[in-house]
Amino acid sequence: MVRTTHVLFDMDGLLLEDPYSDANNKILARYGLVYTWEVKQKIMGHKETDAAKLFLQHYKIPMSPEAYLTERKRILAELYPYCKPLPGVMKLVQHLKEHNVPICVATSSTRDAFIMKSSKNEELFRHFDGNVTCSSDGHIQRGKPAPDLFLAGANSLGLQTDVGKNNKNCLVFEDSPMGVKAGLVANMNVVWIPDENLTLDEDLVKRCVKVLRSMEDFVPEEFGLPPYPL
Report the distance separating Cα 183 and Cα 89, nearest Å: 19
User: Which residue, among 107, 105, 108, has the nearest Cα to 97 in the 3D structure?
Assistant: 105
- Percent of the chain predicted with pLDDT > 90: 75
pLDDT in tens, 47-89: 888 899 999 999 999 999 999 999 999 998 888 888 899 999 9
Give yes or no for a contact between 192 and 205, defined as CB atoms under 8 angstroms apart: yes
Q: What is the pLDDT of residue 126?
A: 96
Note if 10 is an active site residue.
Answer: yes
Q: Going by C-beta distance under 8 Å and a sequence separation of 6 or more, which residues neighbour residue 37?
A: 197, 198, 199
**197 pLDDT above the threshold of 90:** no
CB contact at 8 A, 50 and 58: no
The alpha helices in 34-174, defined as continuous H runs, are: 37-43, 48-59, 65-79, 89-98, 111-119, 122-125, 148-156
**CB distance 104 to 157 below 8 Å:** yes
Q: What is the pLDDT of residues 138-176, one digit of tens each?
A: 899 998 999 999 999 999 999 988 777 889 999 999 999
Class of residue 201 by CB neighbours under 10 A (exposed 0-12, middle 13-18, buried 19+)? middle
Give the mean model confidence (pLDDT) for residues 10-18. 92
pLDDT of residue 149: 96
CA 113 to CA 73: how far, in whole Å? 8
Burial class (CB in 10 A: 0-12, 13-18, 19+), 141: exposed
Burial of residue 73 (number of CB atoms within 10 Å: 0-12, 13-18, 19+): middle
Bridge partners (DSSP) listed for residue 211:
192
User: What domains appear along the chain, each with residue ranges and CATH number?
Assistant: 6-17+83-223 (3.40.50.1000), 20-82 (1.10.150.240)
How far is Cα 170 from Cα 77, in angstroms, rounded to an integer?
33
| Choice among 12, 50, 148, 175 that is catalytic | 12
**pLDDT at residue 64, rounded to an integer:** 95
**What is the average pLDDT across 197-201?**
88
Question: 1: pLDDT confidence band, cut at 50, 70 and 90?
Answer: low
Its pTM stands at 0.88
Which one, of 184, 113, 128, 124, lies nearest residue 151 by Cα? Answer: 184
